[in-house]
């Protein structure tokens, strides 16, 4: 065991639970019959999106804040974050009368800036990305003697997140597996340490976005590696480099790390909305996405807890994610169809579509592009359907009637 791994123990996590007490909500973990059928597992959803600040982050933030000395508390705390960590630090520092300064990138959406200020923090907008914001936060710590609260690479923060693992073992009888999103590794590191410390037989599976699989690559290389920047709808786990503190914990306790892509995450968000009436952000839906896509090595029927770790999502982004999820599921499709430019041609086409119970939501005519012959036209039609089976029936019917068509991606 490395000295870094030894710095986090089950005792630390038990102490964290006593420390944060009732100040953090003990979120429900209920079985979903529908998701169990869809995934082949017996699925229990741990709803950390129901925390006061909308994510699990406040557990670790509070554990760190609670351990400040009187002098440190007097000087205040600083964090760098564009989202959930910022709100967790702001909320719990303010509740304890501690000054909180949050450095956020200039590109941070206004809704997140407003929410962080609403929890009582002073927000400093600086830099074009997290790294530049973090550098400014570090500078403020040095200049003003404040305490920096890292979003994941701190034993106290990891121990705070690990309290979720204790709750899972108490809430799910005969728990066999836990599936957890991974960003920097603080969440899964804490949960894995807690779960394995009490019940080593439980399998712990981590899930990353395929665009930034920093922890998976670190485990393969046996040391943290830095990836190139990438954008993802799972921005809460968009971490380019695994933590130096979290990596050895993950390497020791986590059984498997898998990845999911953007469309799969969007589909999982949509599934949670429709089937469970639960709102998850991109990062919050990645664990379920892995089960829905059968990416893990878990056997059928295992009693599996799935972390819905956050629900803070911009409504504009949510609209786009829903649309993307509908496209991925085949329930929203756009076809480019060639037809004669004559009276009644469009009516014939729409009648065929109506007979197959697809709903037209948008149309666009074009006579000058796409290699259209004189006397012909092309129409792009966006339709709502029940799914892929209905789409295939419609495509077959169009071909049978002689329509030249293609999908528009």
| 346 domain residue, yes or no | yes
Examine the fold and report which residue of 325, 344, 360 is the final residue of a domain before the chain moves on.
Answer: 325
Same domain, 177 and 108: no
Q: What is the largest CA-CA distance in the chain?
A: 82
Report CA dihedral (231, 234, 235, 240) to the nearest 10 degrees.
-70
Rounded Cα–Cα distance for residues 407 and 384 (Å): 14
Taken in order 230, 4, 197, 27, the sign of the CA dihedral is negative
Give the span between the Cα atoms of 338 and 404, in whole angstroms. 5
Does residue 308 sit in the same domain as residue 336? no
CA distances from 1 to 5, 32, 162, 351, 390 (A): 6, 38, 19, 70, 56
**What distance in Å separates the CA atoms of residue 26 and residue 287, rounded to the nearest whole number?**
20
Provide the CB-side half-sphere exposure for 215 (13 A, CA): 36
Q: Does some domain include residue 221?
A: yes
Residue 366: CATH number of its domain: 3.30.70.260
Burial 348-361 (b: 16+ CB within 10 A, else e): ebeebbeebebeee
Phi, psi of 155 (to 5 degrees): -55, -35
State residue 290's pLDDT score: 98
- pLDDT for 19 equals 96
User: Which residues, including other chains, have CB under 8 Å from residue 230's CB and lie 6 or more apart?
Assistant: 211, 212, 238
According to the model, what pLDDT value does residue 374 have?
60
* End-of-domain residue from the set 148, 176, 193: 148
Whether residue 214 contacts residue 237, with contact meaning beta carbons closer than 8 Å, is answered with: no
Q: Are 50 and 278 in contact (CB under 8 A)?
A: no
Looking at the structure, tell me whether residues 170 and 257 fall in a common domain. Answer: yes
Predicted pLDDT of residue 348: 93
Q: What are phi and psi of 206, to 5 degrees?
A: -105, 150
Please indicate, yes or no, whether residues 16 and 164 belong to a single structural domain of this protein: yes
Is residue 7 one of the residues assigned to a domain?
A: yes
Q: In 3D, which of 229, 222, 216, 219 has the Cα closest to residue 290? A: 216
Same structural domain, 372 and 254: no
In the prediction, which pLDDT does 5 show?
43
User: How many Å apart are CA 319 and CA 79, to the nearest integer?
Assistant: 30
**Residue 299 counted as domain residue:** yes
96 domain-assigned: yes
Strands, DSSP E only, in 341-394? 359-366, 376-384
Residue 153 lies in a domain: no
User: One digit per residue, pLDDT tens: the chain, 409 residues?
Assistant: 333 444 799 999 999 999 999 899 999 999 999 999 999 999 999 999 999 999 999 999 999 999 999 999 999 999 998 789 999 999 999 999 999 999 998 888 787 889 999 999 999 999 887 878 889 999 999 999 999 999 999 999 999 999 999 999 999 999 999 999 999 999 999 999 999 999 999 999 999 999 999 999 999 999 999 999 898 999 889 999 999 999 999 999 999 999 999 989 999 999 999 999 999 999 999 999 999 999 999 999 999 999 999 999 888 888 988 887 788 788 999 999 988 888 898 999 999 999 999 999 999 877 655 566 666 788 899 999 999 899 999 999 999 999 989 888 7
Partners of residue 375 on adjacent β-strands: none
Phi/psi of residue 169, each to 5°?
Answer: -65, -30
CATH of the domain at 111: 3.40.50.1100
Domain co-membership, 164 together with 27: yes
Is residue 277 domain-shared with residue 394, that is, in the same domain?
no
Same domain, 184 and 40: yes
50 lies in the same domain as 75: no
SS3 category, 401:
coil
Distance linking the first and last C-alpha atoms of the chain: 50
Q: What are φ and ψ of residue 25, in 5° steps?
A: -70, 130
The pTM assigned to this predicted structure is 0.88
In 3D space, the residue among 170, 166, 154, 215 whose CA is nearest the CA of residue 191 turns out to be 166
**Structural domain boundaries enclosing 403:** 331-407
Residues 62 and 46 in one domain: no
Phi-psi region of 145 (alpha: psi -120 to 50; beta: other; left: phi over 0): left
- End of a domain among 300, 325, 350? 325
Indicate whether 297 and 206 sit together in one domain. yes
Domain count, the chain: 3
Domain shared by 341 and 379, yes or no: yes
Integer Cα distance of 99 and 76 in angstroms: 5
The residue count of the chain comes to 409
Instruction: Please check whether residue 264 lies inside any domain of the structure.
Output: yes
How much is the pLDDT for 370? 58
* H runs (alpha helix) in 329-387: 345-355
Phi and psi, residue 197, nearest 5°: -70, -25
């Amino acid at each position: 065991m490395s000295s870094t791994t030894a710095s986090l123990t089950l005792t630390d996590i038990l102490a964290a639970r006593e420390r944060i007490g009732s100040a953090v909500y003990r979120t429900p973990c209920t079985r979903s019959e529908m998701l169990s059928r869809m995934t082949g597992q017996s699925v229990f959803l741990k709803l950390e999106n129901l925390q006061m600040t909308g994510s699990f982050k406040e557990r670790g933030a509070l554990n760190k804040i609670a351990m400040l000395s009187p002098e440190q508390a007097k000087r205040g705390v600083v964090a760098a974050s564009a989202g959930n960590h910022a709100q967790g630090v702001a909320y719990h520092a303010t509740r304890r009368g501690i000054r909180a300064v949050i450095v956020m990138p200039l590109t941070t959406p206004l809704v997140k800036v407003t929410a962080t200020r609403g929890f009582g923090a002073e927000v400093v907008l600086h830099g074009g990305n997290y790294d530049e914001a973090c550098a400014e936060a570090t500078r403020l710590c040095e200049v003003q003697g404040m305490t920096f609260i890292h979003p994941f690479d701190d034993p106290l923060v990891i121990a705070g997140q690990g309290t979720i693992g204790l709750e899972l073992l108490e809430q799910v009888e005969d728990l066999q597996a836990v599936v957890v999103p991974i960003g920097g590794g603080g969440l899964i590191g804490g949960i894995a340490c807690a779960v394995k410390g009490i019940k080593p037989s439980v399998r712990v599976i981590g899930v990353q976005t395929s665009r930034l699989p920093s922890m998976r690559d670190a485990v393969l290389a046996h040391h943290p590696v830095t990836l190139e920047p990438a954008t993802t709808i799972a921005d809460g786990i968009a971490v380019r480099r695994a933590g130096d503190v979290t990596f050895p914990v993950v390497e020791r306790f986590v059984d498997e790390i898998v990845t999911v892509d953007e469309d799969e995450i969007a589909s999982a968000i949509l599934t949670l909305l429709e089937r469970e009436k639960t709102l998850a952000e991109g990062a919050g839906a990645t664990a379920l996405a892995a089960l829905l896509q059968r990416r893990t090595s878990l056997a059928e029927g295992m009693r599996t807890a799935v972390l819905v770790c956050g629900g803070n999502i911009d409504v504009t982004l949510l609209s786009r994610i829903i649309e993307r999820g509908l496209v991925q599921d085949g329930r929203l499709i756009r076809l480019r169809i060639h037809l004669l430019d004559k009276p009644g041609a469009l009516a014939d086409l729409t009648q065929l579509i109506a007979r197959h119970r697809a709903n037209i939501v948008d149309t666009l005519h074009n006579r000058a592009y796409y290699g259209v012959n004189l006397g012909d036209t092309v129409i792009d039609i966006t339709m709502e359907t029940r799914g892929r089976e209905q789409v295939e029936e419609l495509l077959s019917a169009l071909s049978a009637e002689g329509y030249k068509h293609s999908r528009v991606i």
